[in-house]
Amino acid sequence: MDKKQHIAIFTTASLPWMTGTAVNPLFRAAYLSKNGEKKVTLVIPWLSLKDQEIVYPNRITFNSSTEQEKYVHQWLEERTGFKSFFSIRFYPGRFSQDKRSVLAVGDISEVIPDEDADIAVLEEPEHLTWYHHGKRWKVKFRMVIGIIHTNYLEYVKREKNGRMQAFLLKVINSWVVSIYCHKVIRLSAATQDYPKSIICNVHGVNPKFLGVDKQKIEQLQNGKQTFSKGAYYIGKMVWSKGYKELLKLLQDHQKELVGLEVDLYGSGEDSDQVQEAAKRLEVSVRVHPGCDHADPLFHDYKVFLNPSTTDVVCTTTAEALAMGKIIVCTNHPSNEFFKQFRNCWTYDDSNGFAEATRKALAAEPVQLTNSQRHELSWEAATERFLKVSELDQVSTRKQSNIATKNFMSTSFNFQRNMEDASAYVHFLASGSEASRKMFGAIPGSLQPDEQQCKELGLAIPAGMQSSRK
């Protein structure tokens, strides 16, 4: 008999690291499990204490996975207003300082028992499968859906020998995604293209932001000033997140933007350099430490400036729209979803930015309709995800007659054998020195260390046990 469908969501980051691949999969798990019709498990990385101290903000660390799980559920409940009943499991991960990201170690697919292996959602499938040393995902799970979050090629192009690295990375990404995913969802056309992929924004907005615009409408109706502040931008303070473009635009149009005041909020490796560059401008640019975008201090800003071209679908842009602000952003594929909203003002060039900014500061935002609020919500994002992923067509039975017939098909067998061969080649290649250099992997990081095994209750490999004696 059919059982309740199980969805395992694997991602590359976890709270309290406030990055998109930590926050968005968390909300996806909450809303997919909300009606109780599906069993959902969120699979996130467990970092050793030394890595936690590097990655997590405000000196937040955890002594156990149970402690971190409690933190994650509490944070989520405070924002959604409802208690979630999905489970959380951890896989061993290590932080690569070179690439500023977490790399999975060992066979992370083992976190899900074979009897529960129905649907796997790989948030950043290329990242999760650059190194994979276990059963092929398509064999383990009946359906594997990859969601492309990050424009890795754009980031790599900005590094030394960037174009060559981007070319190689594009080939490798296409290879691993085709080996391990049945279906690929790209949040926008700003990501790398993949064969047979679907472009659909399956992300929503933290509920805390929806309804802020209604408060502004009430203030306006009561004759109060609705927006007492001008323009701002918020994002991780690294040059590649749009700060370089924004400061250049402000520098080039200082005369046209006389009197403009801009507040920048963010923390990151380039904070000191951003502050120094801002001081050299005639336009007033104030630089502040990173802050939660849901903080009431942001409610009174009228205009959100975002010139970034490295985002895929910018979370803070969606949040600003939900708060009823005017968005000034570049005419770029990453902003295509936002163009349906009248408060989204796009520009094509430097002069267009200056003109749009001036007009936005002089205008009043248009009130969002209930339909537009819904479109920004996680309820709508979940509806879009279920529609494009076609999960209702995936059987939870062990084996169907159709699947049996497919296995008897010569063409099916040929395709499967080719993928098996590719997976084996990838297994060998991912452990090579060249691969480590390409992705910034830490030598010897292909398996969890003894301490991580203890912390997660995993069996300690025999080689490690013997080395202690």
Is 390 among the domain residues? no
Is 399 among the domain residues? no
Task: List the CATH number of the domain containing 359.
Answer: 3.40.50.2000
pTM of the model: 0.86
Cβ atoms 90, 457 nearer than 8 A: no
Per DSSP, 110 falls in state G
Q: Both 23 and 169 in a single domain?
A: yes
Domain end, chosen from 340, 357, 376, is at 376
Q: Both 223 and 282 in a single domain?
A: yes
Q: Both 243 and 286 in a single domain?
A: yes
Q: Both 136 and 275 in a single domain?
A: no
Cβ atoms 364, 388 nearer than 8 A: no
User: Dihedral of CA 333/339/345/351: which sign?
Assistant: positive
Q: What share of the chain is helix, strand, coil (3-state, %, to 5)?
A: 45, 15, 40
Q: For residue 328, which of 307, 300, 310 has the smallest C-alpha distance?
A: 307
Cβ atoms 88, 41 nearer than 8 A: yes
Q: Cα separation of 161 and 154, whole Å?
A: 13
Is 382 among the domain residues? no
Pairing mode, strands 101-104 and 119-123: unpaired
Q: What domain range includes position 62?
A: 6-203+404-456
Integer CA distances (angstroms), 312 to 11, 315, 423, in order: 17, 9, 28
Is 384 among the domain residues? no
What's the pLDDT score for residue 369? 93
Q: Both 228 and 286 in a single domain?
A: yes
**E strand or H helix that includes residue 301:** strand 301-306
| Dihedral, CA of residue 227, residue 230, residue 234 and residue 240, to nearest 10 | 150
Angle value at C-alpha 130, between 128 and 135, nearest 5 degrees:
75
Q: Both 27 and 66 in a single domain?
A: yes
Question: Along the 469 residues of the chain, how does pLDDT read in single tens digits?
Answer: 457 899 999 999 999 998 889 999 999 999 999 999 999 999 999 999 999 999 998 889 999 999 999 999 999 999 999 999 999 999 999 998 877 889 998 889 999 999 999 999 999 999 999 887 677 899 999 999 999 999 888 888 888 888 898 899 999 999 999 999 999 999 999 999 998 899 999 999 999 999 888 888 787 777 777 888 999 999 989 898 999 999 999 999 999 998 999 999 998 889 999 999 999 999 999 999 988 898 999 999 999 999 999 999 999 999 999 999 999 999 999 999 999 999 999 999 999 999 999 999 999 999 999 999 999 999 999 999 999 999 888 765 444 433 433 433 444 454 454 455 444 444 444 554 444 444 444 444 467 878 888 888 887 766 655 444 4
What's the pLDDT score for residue 85? 92
Sheet holding 261-265, edge to edge: 284-288, 261-265, 229-234, 301-306, 326-330, 344-347
* Burial (CB count <10 Å: 0-12, 13-18, 19+), residue 285: buried
Q: Both 186 and 332 in a single domain?
A: no
Is 372 among the domain residues? yes
Neighbours of 183 (CB within 10 A): 17
Residue-by-residue DSSP string for 38-82: SEEEEEEEE--HHHHHHHSGGG---SSHHHHHHHHHHHHHHHHSS
| Dihedral, CA of residue 93, residue 96, residue 102 and residue 104, to nearest 10 | -40
Query: What is the residue type of 185?
Result: I
Query: What is the residue type of 366?
Result: V
Q: Both 446 and 338 in a single domain?
A: no
Helical axes 378-389 vs 20-32, angle rounded to 10°: 80
Residue 73 has phi, psi (to 5 degrees) of -65, -40
Q: Both 163 and 254 in a single domain?
A: no
Cβ atoms 129, 104 nearer than 8 A: no
Helical axes 410-429 vs 401-408, angle rounded to 10°: 80
Domain end, chosen from 376, 395, 423, is at 376
Q: Token pair for residue 279? A: 């001081």
Q: Cα separation of 121 and 26, whole Å?
A: 12
Task: List the CATH number of the domain containing 413.
Answer: 3.40.50
Q: Both 361 and 230 in a single domain?
A: yes
Q: For residue 360, which of 302, 435, 288 has the smallest C-alpha distance?
A: 302
Q: Both 251 and 302 in a single domain?
A: yes
Helical axes 65-80 vs 20-32, angle rounded to 10°: 70
Is 462 among the domain residues? no
Q: Cα separation of 251 and 247, whole Å?
A: 6
Q: For residue 181, which of 111, 103, 121 has the smallest C-alpha distance?
A: 121
Number of domains the chain is built from:
2
Is 168 among the domain residues? yes
Is 389 among the domain residues? no
Query: What is the residue type of 377?
Result: S
Q: Both 169 and 305 in a single domain?
A: no
